[in-house]
A and B are shown apart, each in its own frame.
Chain A
Amino acid sequence: MKIAVSADGPDLNAKVGFRFGTSKYFIIIDQDTMDFEAIANPGASTYQGSGVQAVVLVISKKIDTVLTGYCSPIAISHLTVNGIQVLSGVKGTVGEVARMYKKGKLQRQPGVESRLETGANKIERTLIHALKNSANQFIRLLPVLTGVVLLIGLFSSFMSKELLSSVFSGNIVTDTLLGACLGSIFAGNPINSYIIGGELLEYGISLFAVTALIISWVTVGIVQLPAEMAALGRRFALVRNTVSFALALVIAILTVAVIGV
């Protein structure tokens, strides 16, 4: 049984940290041996966010219970949905509250609130949560999918095989390159790349081009490039996209070659 206490300092004499997400440390205590370990909170320096980094830390340390002063509702829901109990409104020193918790006294303190998803309640909540999320994801996928299918329908009523083959000439190198370029420009759910690729195959476009399109659709993103630069750095984004573009060509050629063998 492992507990994590948000703390202002790295030992058992430190005061319990008021905010779960931004406390300086987490003291992780093994309830059986009372051994402890202090870990600096990776989210301590950030003033925004709702403590997601702290949540991730606690989950990765396989903690059973979190003791803290205050925990944001979002962090609580992330923790409890992963089976972790949260006690908020906890005051005192880390050592003190850990001993009280072990004896079962902490839970009865005025102002202390315990949250835990248990048994049937948990299953029901998780199920509803998953269903809601899935329906949401699925519904969000449909409008663009519908648009893509309608657009392909439109193309097929105007485009002839001859017209398309004037673009995709049948030359492996240029076709693969073209496929990868198309995939790099377009973005969004890869399901659309499968449908477009599948229809292109019907039109006699080579599997090289279609494979390059499918791979680069996800791995290279010209549309998302500014967002990727902003999040991960200009250099990283440029290097990663360039490397991925080259790899899309290689993967396309290898895949088709292996199938042909």
Chain B
Amino acid sequence: MSNKIPRKQSIMRIIYFPASVIAVYGIIFAFMPERAFLAIKSSGIIFSNIIIPLFLVFILIIVLNLFLKPTYIASFLGKEAGIKGIILSMTAGIISTGPIYVWYPILKELKEKGAGSSSIAVFLNSRAIKPFLLPIMISYFGCLYVAILTVFTITGSLVAGYIVGALMEKKT
């Protein structure tokens, strides 16, 4: 697809941040080694807490990739008008994976071909629900919180779609 960012650039992008953190560790280790050890210990505890949920995340990513293709998800967007269209956009947002900048070019094309502001806003906001990250979320916050937050996030994305749609229409 034409929307892939150059591989080298994208690798730089993800390595840059951890590399800087490790550099900071190096500096602190030189001046305050006991603090650095403490920091590594704390990090180790966090890692040990997320390792099992992280493994579940990997399994869920495989399952989603097995059944859902980006072009199939895109076929949900902007096709139908009205409530059905909004629900399809929401579903597409929830099941979409990958970083957001992969989706901008696809959304741009869809918008140029007539997909509404509401649908796009609903899609972008319902991306806050990430089924494959649920194991991590539940391990930190518990089922009840995650369930309530999910309901409000879905409602919120619909409200956002409605308001954005209304505001955009007003002007044009």
Contact = CB atoms under 8 A, between A and B. Distances in A.
B21 A157 contact: no
A59 to B, nearest CB: 5
B30 interface: no
B74 to A, nearest CB: 5
B159 to A, nearest CB: 6
Q: What is the interface residue range for chain A against chain B?
A: 35 or more
B87 interface: no
Nearest to B152: A251
A48 B72 CA distance: 20
Interface residues of B, number: 78
A52 B77 CA distance: 13
A249 B170 CA distance: 25
Interface in B69-99: 69, 71-72, 74-75, 79, 97-99
Interface in B95-153: 97-101, 104-109, 111, 113, 117, 120-121, 124-125, 127-128, 130, 133, 136-137, 140-141, 144-145, 148-149, 152-153
Contacts of A171: none
Contacts of A157: 35-36, 38-39, 42
Contacts, number: 210
Interface string A192-235: 00110111010000010001001101110100100110111101
Contact of B125 (A81, A197, A244): A244
* Majority SS at the chain B contact face: helix
Contacts of A126: 66
B106 A52 contact: yes
A60 B140 contact: no
Contact of A247 (B25, B113, B159): B159
A56 B125 contact: no
Interface in B13-66: 14-15, 17-18, 20-22, 24-25, 28, 35-36, 38-44, 46-47, 50, 57-58, 61-62, 65-66
A134 interface: yes
Contacts of A194: 133, 136-137, 140-141
Contacts of B152: 251, 254-255, 258
A92 B129 CA distance: 49
A153 interface: yes
A130 B120 contact: no
Contact of B107 (A43, A218, A231): A231
A185 interface: no
Interface of A: 42-43, 46, 48-50, 52-53, 55-57, 59-60, 74, 78, 81-82, 126-127, 129-131, 133-134, 137-138, 140, 143-144, 146-147, 149-154, 156-158, 187-191, 194-195, 197-199, 201, 207, 211, 214-215, 217-219, 221, 224, 227-228, 230-233, 235-236, 239-240, 243-244, 247-248, 250-251, 254-255, 258-259
Going nearest first, the 4 A-B pairs with the smallest beta carbon separation are A153-B43, A147-B18, A198-B140, A231-B104
Interface of B: 1-2, 10, 14-15, 17-18, 20-22, 24-25, 28, 35-36, 38-44, 46-47, 50, 57-58, 61-62, 65-66, 69, 71-72, 74-75, 79, 97-101, 104-109, 111, 113, 117, 120-121, 124-125, 127-128, 130, 133, 136-137, 140-141, 144-145, 148-149, 152-153, 156-157, 159-160, 163-164, 167-168, 171
